[in-house]
Amino acid sequence: MKIGIIGAGNIGSVLALRFVERGHQVKIGNSRGPGTLGEVERETGATSAELKEVVKDADVIVVTIPEAKVPNLPKDLFAGVPASTVVIDTGNYYPRQRDGRIAGIEKGSTESRWVEEQIGRPVVKAFNNIYADHLRNKGTPAGTPKRIALPVAGDDAKAKAVVMKLVDEVGFDAVDAGTLDDSWRQQPATPVYTADRDAEGVRAALQQADPVRKPEWRATDRSPGDFDNPA
């Protein structure tokens, strides 16, 4: 498939590497332009490009940038992208350390529903609950006992199936985590978040999740701080 990755940081780079290894054609972009992505190109085999080129003709687009930066994406970025293109959101809301206050999420929107509203396109939530380092190093072939599983949530069954196959290709079992309205079950602080559970464990963790956002995952008047001095 042709895969476009918006964001070339921890998650964007490792997904680019794994997708290229699986034979996909991958373009990747960031906010500063392809001239800044020589090392990412060398490490991953992906082609760096301006964002409008990254999304052009893509079968799958991955949005993997800090939550607070999503509104900074060009307003018309998805205008020419066909409805059949699958958009993956890997994002998490870190109000105290990074993102500051995002009113829609504080009011109760799931993080991915808020992302959908910003970009004007349906998304499938995936790859948000595993550390980038584990995504890079802990994938295993299908059938491996206790293989780590990742939840995948979205409203379109066909789009979700595409994403679940990609999850499997990069070394993880995929668990259907329901619709985007169910995706709070895989947000930060839930039992499945960064827990590296197998498929059975992921299903159990999704059921055990508490819908109430924990105080430490809400913004304060001083947000954002940084990861060492959260506000």
Ligand X SMILES: NC(=O)c1ccc[n+]([C@@H]2O[C@H](COP(=O)([O-])OP(=O)(O)OC[C@H]3O[C@@H](n4cnc5c(N)ncnc54)[C@H](OP(=O)(O)O)[C@@H]3O)[C@@H](O)[C@H]2O)c1
**Residues within the interface to ligand X (CB under 6 A):** 6-12, 30-32, 51, 64-67, 69, 72-73, 90-92, 128, 131-132
How many Å apart are CA 164 and CA 168, to the nearest integer? Answer: 6
Q: How far apart are CA 137 and CA 199, in angstroms?
A: 18
Q: Quick check: 45 and 20 in contact, CB under 8 A? A: yes
Residue closer to ligand X, measured from CB, 85 or 187: 187
For 44, residues 6+ apart whose C-beta sits below 8 A from its C-beta are 13, 16, 17, 20, 26, 28
Q: Is the Cα torsion angle 7, 155, 159, 119 positive or negative in sign?
A: negative
Q: Return the number of the residue (103 or 157) whose C-beta is nearest ligand X.
A: 103
The answer to whether 124 and 154 have CB atoms below 8 angstroms apart is yes
Q: What angle do CA 76, 101, 31 make, to 5 degrees?
A: 40
Q: Measure the CA–CA gap between 148 and 174, rounded to whole angstroms.
A: 9
Q: How far apart are CB 70 and ligand X at their closest, in Å?
A: 8
Residue nearest to ligand X (CB): 9
Contact yes or no for 90/113 (Cβ under 8 A)? no
Select 46 or 157, whichever has its Cβ closest to ligand X: 46
Nearest to ligand X of 95, 157 (CB atom): 95
Instruction: Work out how close the CB of 93 gets to ligand X at its nearest, in angstroms, rounded to a whole number.
Output: 8
Quote the least distance from Cβ 168 to ligand X, whole Å. Answer: 18
Q: How far is the CB of 111 from ligand X (least distance, A)?
A: 9
Nearer to ligand X, 84 or 137 (CB): 137
Q: What distance lies between CA 191 and its chain's CA centroid?
A: 18
CB of 23 or CB of 229, closer to ligand X: 229
Q: Closest approach of Cβ 92 to ligand X, in Å?
A: 4
Q: How far is the CB of 169 from ligand X (least distance, A)?
A: 18
